[in-house]
Structure 1
Amino acid sequence: VNWYYKAAVQGYSWGEYNLGLQFKNGRGVPQDLKKAVLWYEKSAKQGNLWALNNLGVCYLNGEGTRRNYQKAFELFWKAAEGNYSYGQYNVGRCYENGWGVEQNIPKAVEWYRKAADQGHQDAKKNLEWLQ
């Protein structure tokens, strides 16, 4: 955690992301979801795809921030545009469930397929279920 903090305060996006992850999971520090969101936001502003996705999960579930499906979808979309399989999977989930976007099963399938093509196992399972 100390090394992540040193990297994070210097503006290194992976340090910010990893520090957020430690606060999210309570590893090496007491769990603090608000601090997790704060560090994810810093990393996401630099375009870190993992941080964008994890921040989207926080907004989706209302963890450390107020639940906001629209914001979650926007963050997942940015991660997905960067070809990040977890972002693609989560865009698919949003389309499947109508979270922050109008429900659209064909688009859910399209995004699950993109994630599945990269080996994302949950996307593969959801594709099987939807097709």
Structure 2
Amino acid sequence: MPLFHLGYCYINGIGTEIDKQKGFELYEEAEKGNDNAIDLLKTFFYEKGEEMDFDINEVKYWYQKSAEIDNKVALYKLGEIFELGNGVNQNEIKAFYFYKLAAEKGCANGKYKLAYYFLHGIIVDVDKKKAFNLYKEAVEEGHENAQKSLALLLEKGEDK
């Protein structure tokens, strides 16, 4: 983990001048020691794009690596990439697949997206009961948009 922290210092200019290239090289070396936390942090910096060239392929690569270790956030983000078609052909089936995996791992965002798919019949049959339950689970985890969606379903009497 020390190499990871040193890489973080270089990327953020903590106690040294900012040197993102050196920071990522240290992340790479730390990863060889099997430090799984690195994957998402790398992705975060690539997405921020600060003083770096944005490379969607690199972002996808790091999400995929994180997804391989069942990281719920990475699974959700892969779903987003396929839903929006960011650097890939838009693919609702793959998006649904990754949202489902994320939801199964307890990701509130994954549950929210999955509920939307069931509510609107996107690649699955409409199942308002399943959508309601997924929104409810996401609300219990503090997801604000799920709370709004759940309230709308309740107003329309579609909770049955």
Normalised to the residue count of structure 1, the TM-score between the two structures is 0.86
- Deviation for aligned residue 1:3: 5.3
- Extract unaligned runs of 5+ from structure 1: none
Aligned residues of 1:5 and 1:15 also touching (Cα < 8 A):
no
1:48-88: CA deviation from partner (whole Å, max 9, x where unpaired): 11100111111110012221111111111111111121111
The residue identity in structure 1 corresponding to 2:27 is K
Aligned residues of 2:24 and 2:42 also touching (Cα < 8 A):
no
Equivalent in 39, 47, 53 of residue 30 of structure 1 = 53
- Deviation for aligned residue 1:22: 2.5
Q: Please give the alpha-carbon distance, in whole angstroms, between the structure 2 residues aligned to 1:56 and 1:42.
A: 14
What SS is found at the alignment partner of 2:70?
coil
- Deviation for aligned residue 1:12: 3.2
Give every structure 1 segment of 4 or more consecutive aligned residues whose post-TM-superposition deviation is greater than 6 Å: none
Q: Please give the alpha-carbon distance, in whole angstroms, between the structure 2 residues aligned to 1:106 and 1:4.
A: 48
Q: Which residue of 2 aligns with 1:6?
A: 27
Q: Please give the alpha-carbon distance, in whole angstroms, between the structure 1 residues aligned to 2:104 and 2:68.
A: 15
What SS is found at the alignment partner of 1:29?
coil
Q: Which residue of 2 aligns with 1:94?
A: 117
Aligned residues of 1:95 and 1:102 also touching (Cα < 8 A):
yes
Seen in structure 2, the aligned counterparts of structure 1 residues 87 and 45 have a Cα distance that, compared at 3 Å, is same
Seen in structure 2, the aligned counterparts of structure 1 residues 117 and 70 have a Cα distance that, compared at 3 Å, is same
- Deviation for aligned residue 1:4: 8.7
Equivalent in 88, 91, 108 of residue 65 of structure 1 = 88
Q: Please give the alpha-carbon distance, in whole angstroms, between the structure 2 residues aligned to 1:29 and 1:78.
A: 31
- Identity score, percent: 27
Normalised to the residue count of structure 2, the TM-score between the two structures is 0.72
From the CA coordinates, give the structure whose radius of gyration is larger.
Answer: 2
- Deviation for aligned residue 1:102: 2.5
1:65-114: CA deviation from partner (whole Å, max 9, x where unpaired): 22111111111111111112111111112212333322322211111110
Aligned residues of 1:4 and 1:18 also touching (Cα < 8 A):
no
Q: Does residue 127 of structure 1 match 2:150? A: yes
Q: Please give the alpha-carbon distance, in whole angstroms, between the structure 1 residues aligned to 2:145 and 2:151.
A: 10
Q: Does residue 41 of structure 1 match 2:64? A: yes
Seen in structure 2, the aligned counterparts of structure 1 residues 29 and 73 have a Cα distance that, compared at 3 Å, is same
Please give the root-mean-square deviation of Cα atoms over the aligned residues, in Å: 2.1
